[in-house]
Amino acid sequence: MAFDSSSPSDASLSDPSASASRPAASGEPSHRPIAQPVPGTSVNAFVFERASQLSSHVARIIADVIEQRSVLGQRTVLGLVTGSTPADTYRELIRLHREEGLDFSRVVIFLLGEYVGLAPDSPQSHARWIADHLTDHVNIPRESVRVPNVAGTPAQLQASCRDYESAISEAGGLDLVVCGIGRNGHVAFNEPFSVRSSRTRLCTLDPVTRRAAANDFFGEENVPLQAVTVGLETILSADRLCVLALGEHKAAMVRAAFEGPATDRVPASFLQEHSMVEVFLDAPAAGELTGVATPWLLGKTEWTEDSIKRVVLWLCQQTGKALLKLSDDDFREHDLHQLLRHHGPAQRLAGRVFRLMMDTLEYHPAGREPRTCLCFSPHPDDDVISMGGTLIRLIEDGHRVHIAYMTSGNIAVFDHDAVRIADLVAEYNRLFGIDQSESLRVQQEVHQGLQGKRPGQPDVEALQKIKGLIRWSEARAAAFKVGCRDEDLHFLDLPFYRTGTVSKRPVGEEDVRIIVDLLRRVQPEVVFVAGDLADPHGTHRVCADAIFRAILVLEEAGDPLPEVLLYRGAWQEYAMHEIEIAVPLSPGDIELKRKAIFMHESQKDEALFPGSDPREFWERAEDRNRGTADGYNQLGLPEYFALEAFTRWNGQQI
C-alpha cells in the first residue's frame, strides 16, 4: 500500500496555520488553525493548543520528507533524539506506517547522542529507546539505524566519533533533524559552552542534564558522566531542522534560545542561524515568549476581557503597585496608551480587574448544596499534596468526596522499604503462627530479586506488589486524615503504568474504559483533575489525557457531564491571570493538610523521584499555597493565610 498521497504539501507543513483546511483528527474542529505563529522570535515558531496536535504535525513533516525523497529514488537521512518530547511524534509515525503505508525501507537514522558506558540493551540507552519507540515497529532495515559507539578506551571513543561523523557524510548529510531543548539549553548532548563549529565528539554532561535524567536512572548518582554527541556544526549542516519543546519547565530556555542572541551559553540559540529551522511548541513551553506572555509589547493588541486582565496584572508586577493604586501615568509609561484610550481611565481598568480577581475567591468550591465530587489523583499522594485543603473544605461543606488513585506509584518506593515490609510480614506470621511457608517464600523472592539488580531494572513481581501495597496503605491513611470514607476510595491501577520502570506504555482503550466505568458508577457532579503540565514524571499529563478521553466517551453516549476543575501538582502554580477559583485556607487547614501529607511515609524526608527541587513535598505545597495568597495580597486583595488555585477545563486536551 502506498503512503497516502493526499498528505499536506510542503507549504502547509511550513505553516501549521495553513493546514486549517485539512480534515481534522481526533475531533479537532476543521475550521480552526491547529497552531498560531509566534511573533517576536528570530525563527519560525508555532504554538499548538495541544501537545497531540504538535506531535501529529511534526510526524507529517517527517512523513512528507520521506515520501518526497522516495519518489525521487533517494534515501532519507534523519537525525533523531530520544526522550519524552518526541515520543508521541514517533508513535504517530508508527501509525502512519501501519495505517497509511508510510515506507521506512529507504530511511537511515542517526541518533544524535548516546550515554558512554551503557550496553545497547540497557533500559536507559538511546539505542534501546529508539528501538522500543520507533524502529522495531516500522520496516526500517536494522543496519540503517546508526547509534554512536560508546564502548572502549578514550582513544577508541575518539576514533569512533570520527567514524560516526564520516558515516553521516557518506550518507549525504542529514536531510532532517528532529531535536529538543534541554533545561540548560543543550541540543543533543551539546552542553552549555559547546563550540559552534563542533562535530561528533565525546563530552562531559552538565549537572543540569544529569539531574534531568536522574528519574530514568533511579538516582542522579547512576547517571553516566559522559556521552557521545553529534556536534552543533553537523546539526546545523542538515537541510532542515524541527525543534520541539513541551512544558513550562522549557519556557525560559525557549525564550533565551529564540529571542536572545546566539551564544555558546545556550547552545540551542545557534539553531536560529539555520535558514530552514522551525520551532514547534505547546502553550506552556511558549509561555514566556514575548508574543505569548506580553504581546502588547510588540504592537497592537486585541483587547478582550482575558487580555485586559493579563496586562493589568502584569502592570501591577512591573510597578510594584496594588490594583487600585494604578494611575494613568503607569499605563502610559509602559506603552499602554491604546488600552488606556479605549478602555480607561486607570481607575476603571483596575476596578474591572479587581472585581474579576475578587470573583475567583471561593470558600465553597463545589457550592453550598450537597454534591458528589471526584478527585483524580495520578499518583497516590497528589490528592493531599495538591488540593488537600480543598478536600477538607469539600467534606466540611457536606459534599460526598471520592478519590480515584490512577496508578499504584510503586516505582517511587525505595527497595529498602519493600524489604522491611517483606521481613516484617515474615516475622509477623512466624510470631503468630500464620502461613509461614508462603511469607518466607515471598521474603526469599524479594531478597533474591534485589541481588545484582541494576538501576532502572524492573522489580520482580513480589517487589512491585509490596511497593504498591505501601503506597496503597499510605493513600488510605492520608485520605482518612482529611475526612474521606473508605468506600469512597478507588484504586484504579491503570494498565499503562504497569511497566515497573519510569517509561510507561501509551494510554490504551482499557485505561479509558476503567475511567468511564468509574465515572458512570460514581456519577460525580464536580471532577478535579491534575493539570500539571510540568510534571517531571509525565504521568499527570498522561492521566489527564485519559480522563478527557473518558469524558468524550460519556459526551458521545449522551451521559451527564461533570464540571471539570484543574489543579496543579507539586511542581508549578498557575499564573495569577490563569486562576479562576482560589480556595482560602486557614492555618488549621494547612496544619491538617500537612498531617495528611505526612501519612505518605515512603515519600517523607527523601523521595525516590523528588525532581530538581530540594524541598520536601509538604514544604513545596505550603510554600506554593502561601505564595499564591501573598500574590493576592500584593494586588490589594483580601489577605489570606494560604490559597489553593484551580482553573476550569476548556474542553481541550492537554
Mean pLDDT of 60-85: 96
pLDDT at 282 exceeding the cut of 80: yes
- Specify which residues 78 forms β-bridges with: 109, 176
- Confidence (pLDDT) at 28: 39
Long-range contacts of 491-495 (CB under 8 A, 24+ apart): 491/405, 491/408, 492/404, 492/405, 492/406, 492/407, 492/518, 493/407, 493/408, 493/468, 494/406, 494/407, 494/543, 494/546
> For residue 345, is the peptide bond before it cis, meaning its omega torsion is within 30 degrees of 0?
yes
Return the minimum-mean-pLDDT range out of 27-41, 42-56, 335-349, 551-565.
27-41
d(CA 167, CA 644): 55
517 phi and psi angles, rounded to 5 deg: -60, -40
Most confident of 210-219, 511-520, 530-539: 511-520
Task: List residues with catalytic annotation.
Answer: 191
Radius of gyration of the chain (CA): 26
- Confidence (pLDDT) at 397: 97
In the numeric block, the cell 470573583 is attached to 359
Neighbours of 470 (CB within 10 A): 24
- Confidence (pLDDT) at 537: 52
What residue spans of 483-535 are helical by DSSP H?
A: 509-522
- Confidence (pLDDT) at 17: 53
- Residues 576 and 604 sit within 8 Å (Cβ to Cβ): no
| Beta strands 145-146 and 113-115, pairing class | unpaired
The single-letter DSSP state of residue 154 is H
Average pLDDT over all residues of the chain = 90
More confident residue, 218 or 57: 57
SS3 of residue 402 by DSSP: strand
The CATH superfamily of 372-412+467-648 is LmbE-like (3.40.50.10320)
pLDDT at 299 exceeding the cut of 90: no
Kindly indicate the confidence band of residue 535, based on its pLDDT and cuts at 50, 70 and 90.
Answer: low
- Confidence (pLDDT) at 174: 97
- Confidence (pLDDT) at 553: 96
- Confidence (pLDDT) at 84: 87
Residues 6 or more apart whose Cβ sits within 8 Å of residue 92: 55, 56, 59
459 phi and psi angles, rounded to 5 deg: -75, 155
SS3 of residue 410 by DSSP: helix
| Beta strands 277-282 and 44-48, pairing class | parallel
Domain limits, the chain: 38-291, 298-358, 372-412+467-648
Residues 6 or more apart whose Cβ sits within 8 Å of residue 8: 19, 22, 60, 64
- Confidence (pLDDT) at 653: 56
More confident residue, 411 or 165: 165
Mean pLDDT of 482-491: 97
Mean pLDDT of 326-351: 95
d(CA 485, CA 218): 34
Percent pLDDT > 70 in the chain is 93
Question: Domain 38-291 adopts which CATH fold?
Answer: Rossmann fold (3.40.50)
- Residues 530 and 407 sit within 8 Å (Cβ to Cβ): no
Q: Whole-prediction pTM value?
A: 0.85
Percent pLDDT > 90 in the chain is 79
- Confidence (pLDDT) at 220: 86
- Confidence (pLDDT) at 455: 73
The CA-based diameter of the chain, rounded to the nearest angstrom, is 84
Count the residues in the chain.
654
| Exposure class string for 262-283: b at 16+ Cβ within 10 A, else e | bebebbbbbbbebeebbbbbbb
- Confidence (pLDDT) at 4: 35
pLDDT at 533 exceeding the cut of 70: no
Kindly indicate the confidence band of residue 630, based on its pLDDT and cuts at 50, 70 and 90.
Answer: very high
Mean pLDDT of 642-651: 92
- Confidence (pLDDT) at 45: 95
**What pLDDT digit, counting tens, does each position of 223-249 carry?**
999 999 999 999 999 999 999 999 888
Return the minimum-mean-pLDDT range out of 91-95, 118-122, 329-333, 483-487.
118-122
- Residues 495 and 511 sit within 8 Å (Cβ to Cβ): yes
SS3 of residue 360 by DSSP: coil
Kindly indicate the confidence band of residue 33, based on its pLDDT and cuts at 50, 70 and 90.
Answer: low
Kindly indicate the confidence band of residue 652, based on its pLDDT and cuts at 50, 70 and 90.
Answer: low
pLDDT at 465 exceeding the cut of 90: yes
In the numeric block, the cell 546566539 is attached to 262
The answer to whether the 38-291 and 372-412+467-648 domains have the same CATH topology is: yes
Question: Which amino acid does the sequence have at 411?
Answer: I
Return the minimum-mean-pLDDT range out of 150-164, 448-462, 560-574.
448-462
